[in-house]
């Protein structure tokens, strides 16, 4: 009888460990089979924590980075880009039925209020901290929600990051930088506290309560001069 009790306790202990391990192995990307980040160079210039005069360029080939359901890059994960260029970043994600789901995060204002994108890593010098506009900017910049209504909030508070713009900046060129594009589901009321300069905070998870729902890992090597 004693042996059976010991055996039962051991089985229960292993089961608990297995469940905990499973819960912790893949806390993000639930329901998303694959994703892409599409980088396309555009016209525009940096000003403080945001961009001015953004406009698409004709005939520019995009850089497509593809990710699996764990957020690991499976294609294009080491990018060579121009340090001072501005890139439009479009997020695309598919669920296990093959449906595109990125716009579900910004279906309307009530939904979008729960999500915010960050671009973490790289130890960037932020443009807002420079005097010569040579630093990095990551700016979520949707103008409408999925239902067609205008994105609300001053200072970019209402934007999410399904569509964003990014520049590395001359001050950050050189060494390869490991980055994570993170879409975070934040707790009620948190999104309104996130400013344009919070996009690269390594402590974002502690400061902005919630849970990461998408984390895409890739590398950027920013070089001086035109790469095309």
What residue spans define the domains of the chain?
A: 28-223
What pLDDT, on the 0 to 100 scale, is given for residue 225? 67
Residues of the chain whose pLDDT is less than 70?
Answer: 1-30, 225-228
For the whole model, what pTM was predicted? 0.86
- Provide CB contacts within 8 A for 38, sequence distance 6+: 62, 63, 64, 65, 88, 89, 90, 92
What was the pLDDT predicted at 165? 98
The three-class DSSP label of residue 193 is: helix
Residue 222's beta-bridge partner residues?
A: 81
Exposed, middle or buried by CB within 10 Å (0-12, 13-18, 19+), for 1? exposed
Q: How many CB atoms lie within 10 A of CB 99?
A: 10
Q: List the alpha helices (DSSP H) in the chain.
A: 2-25, 109-112, 204-207
- For 152-209, write each residue's pLDDT tens digit: 888 899 999 999 999 999 999 998 999 999 999 999 999 999 999 999 999 999 999 9
DSSP state of 144: B
């Amino acid at each position: 009888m004693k042996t059976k009790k010991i055996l039962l306790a051991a089985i229960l202990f292993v089961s608990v460990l297995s469940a905990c391990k499973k819960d912790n192995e893949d806390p993000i990307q639930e329901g998303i089979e694959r994703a892409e980040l599409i980088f396309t160079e555009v016209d525009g210039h940096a000003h403080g924590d945001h961009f001015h005069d953004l406009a698409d360029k004709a005939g520019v080939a995009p850089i497509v980075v593809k990710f699996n359901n764990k957020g690991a890059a499976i294609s294009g994960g080491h990018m060579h880009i121009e340090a001072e260029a501005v890139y439009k970043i479009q997020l695309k994600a598919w669920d296990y039925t093959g449906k595109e789901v990125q716009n579900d995060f910004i279906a309307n204002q009530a939904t979008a209020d729960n999500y915010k994108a960050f671009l973490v890593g790289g130890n960037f010098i932020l443009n807002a901290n420079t005097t010569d506009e040579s630093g990095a900017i990551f700016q979520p910049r949707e103008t409408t929600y999925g239902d067609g209504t205008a994105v609300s909030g001053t200072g970019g508070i209402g934007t999410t990051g399904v569509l964003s713009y990014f520049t590395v900046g001359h001050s950050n060129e050189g060494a390869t930088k490991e980055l994570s594009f993170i879409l975070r589901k934040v707790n009620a009321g948190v999104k309104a506290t996130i400013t344009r300069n919070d996009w690269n905070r390594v402590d974002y998870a502690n400061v902005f309560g919630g849970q990461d729902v998408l984390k895409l890992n890739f590398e950027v090597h920013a070089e001086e001069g035109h790469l095309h």
